[in-house]
Chains A and B, each alone.
Chain A
Amino acid sequence: MPQLNLIEAVRSAMADAMAEDARVFVLGEDVGLKGGVFLATDGLLARFGPDRVVDMPIAEAGIVGMAIGASLHGLRPVAEIQFADYIHPAIDQILNEAARLRYRSNGDWHCPIVVRAPFGAGVHGALYHSQSTEALFTSTPGLKVVVPSTPYDAKGLLIAAIRDPDPVIVFEHKQLYRGVRGDVPEGTYTVPLGQAAVRRAGAQISLFTYGLMAHYSLEAAKVVADEGIDVEVIDLRTLYPLDQATILGSVRKTGKALIVHEDKLTGGVGGEISALIAEHAFEALDAPVRRLASPDVHAVAFSDVLEAHFMLNPQKIATAVRELAAY
């Protein structure tokens, strides 16, 4: 089986989906000749032509709005927002239009679009090339929000998103694009949306995370394992709707929950998971639910020292795990 990094897996997902289904097309800024600023669409223009690999003007509402319109005629658009930091101009199209089309028309229409956006810090991107914007989208029914952490999942989740009959937002962590490699099958396959993955089974603490933090959390779990702390690491993969059964099942087993995300603390996905656990698994808890997240500032700062302080890392996660284990 080929070993790919995450960006190659994303590219392979789009290429295979486009080869298999003539309704699939990609659109975004610089996706054509340049192949995207991260090369997600490299080579697709030569293979599929300019009608299906569309270089768009700098108009994010236009990119998503055009995808919505095309989906109404039965197509399967995959829109790329160049950086998650620039998804904001498209928010009206995503939340007021795509997410609501099925509901507002009483099921007459539906909107099978995918919006991909690179997100995350740790690449010296500062305030406007580092943001985690997932929480802006994880409270809107009608949408699905997905974050892959492995090349295998990146391809399988993206193909599942393309085949899904509803709008799916896929956030891809920039550090993972070239930071992880793994087995990725040739041809199309899917990883189901809405299902978390248990990356490491454990008995004492449930650690819920996603994206780059899934890797940091696994490293931290390995370190504390030598100290006798047995952590279950759960990669959420889909942030909305959440896989409640897996989350609650794990907490009922371990009795302790730690949520780790790169997004800001307040209003992040961790708050919703904490509430779920408090509401449905309170009796199982042996300790307060703990959240480890970025501080409540807009995004990572440019200075090396500020960036390092902002970012979570395996050490910070291991410390939080030890504190929770000692409770």
Chain B
Amino acid sequence: MQDASPPPGHDLQYEHAALGLSDAQVLAALRGMIVARTVDDRLWLLSRQGKAHFVITSAGHEATQFGCAWAVQIGRDYVVPYYRDMALVLALGQTPRDIFLHALGKAEDPASGGRQMFGHFNSRALRIVSGSSSVGSHPLHAVGLAWAFRITKETDLAAMTFFGEGATSEGAWHEAMTIAGIHQLPVVFVCENNQYAISVPQAREVPVPDVATKAAGYGMPGMVVDGNDLFAVYAAAQAALARARAGGGPTLLECKTYRLRPHSNADDDRKYRRVEEVDAWRARDPITRLERYALHSELIDPAGLADIRTAVVAEVDVAIAEAERAPNPAIESLLHHLYGE
């Protein structure tokens, strides 16, 4: 529950107006991040009820994902996400109902019609590209899209791809970075560094403290930002995307963040990280930090915030109810869409 007294200040890097963001945009993002967290809460509940067989969390990553989404020309720039990006696809225009339809494997699941396990987001209309579960395989698709823009001579267009720090050890990731660097393609590589690849800490999966330093070997700049600071992420993502669209080449943008829940509902994170560590990161929860900023800047008061939270819970309740009522896929759909005509 929120403390009734407004906190003393905020710890975000920028004032929103300095970045050209309106009050309404900040409040919309705050609301969106609360929606994302609430959807995440409810997915875990559905898992415990045995209704959602697989849950993979975006809790803790919301500022990274909303900050990047703000910089995307939605429906024009391509987004090539990974399983951690539920908050991202909500920020890009998918709805809580879409998320629950996907989690429950319903016929109308916009990601896959009930084929893929939760976390494999997709919407061709929003140019969100369908992915596999194979870690690190998808940044290459962003690179190929960027090559396509070169052939079709479309400018002012970029591809943004997302992955964890663990994925940066994969060969396919290295190949994507290599090709993007050679041809200075309009791709922004966003590393959501939450410091663990399931149970393995960063020190045992990445040989350098900052993933961003890897960029030097691929002929592109690397940037490190506080991934729990919405405005810092936005500023960096905006700069990287603008440079890419203007023909300035790719960027590796590392957003330092933390996953506040276990990797998935099949994981027990108490086996590999201490409660004190998790609590320390909870104190830097990106949503709490944005709330403090909004209160401090008098964009909203505590009562307004409470109203948002109540409204979001009601909205999410409706989405779950609709998704639960939605029909399952038809049995014969199992054999559909293997080949086109």
Contacts and interface: CB of A to CB of B under 8 A. Distances in A.
A141 B120 CA distance: 20
A44 to B, nearest CB: 14
A68 B172 CA distance: 13
Contacts of B151: 22-23, 25, 51-52, 70, 75
Given A59-B179, A65-B172, A70-B144, A103 B132 contact: no
B178 A62 contact: yes
A103 B130 CA distance: 10
Nearest to A55: B182
Contact of B338 (A77, A96, A141): A141
A109 B179 contact: no
Contacts of B150: 51
A96 B137 contact: yes
B144 A105 contact: no
Contacts of A71: 144
Contacts of B141: 65, 68-69, 72, 97
A263 to B, nearest CB: 24
A73 B172 contact: no
Interface stretch (B26-34, B82-90, B111-119): B111-119
B169 to A, nearest CB: 14
Interface string A57-91: 10101100111111111110100000000000100
A66 B147 contact: yes
Interface in B271-306: none
Given A69-B143, A73-B148, A61 B172 contact: yes
A83 to B, nearest CB: 18
A93 B179 CA distance: 16
B123 interface: yes
Contacts of B310: none
Nearest to B336: A107
Interface string A132-168: 0000000001101000000000000000000001100
A69 B145 contact: yes
Given A59-B175, A59-B179, A62-B176, A102 B140 contact: no
B132 A104 contact: yes
Given A75-B148, A109-B124, A66 B130 contact: no
A77 B123 CA distance: 23
A108 interface: yes
Nearest to B144: A69
B50 interface: no
A62 B130 contact: no
A288 B197 CA distance: 53
B129 interface: yes
Most buried by B among A25, A61, A165: A61
A100 interface: yes
A104 B134 CA distance: 13
Given A66-B143, A74-B152, 5 more contacts: A68-B144, A69-B145, A70-B147, A97-B137, A166-B339
5 contacts: A51-B151, A57-B175, A96-B132, A102-B339, A142-B338
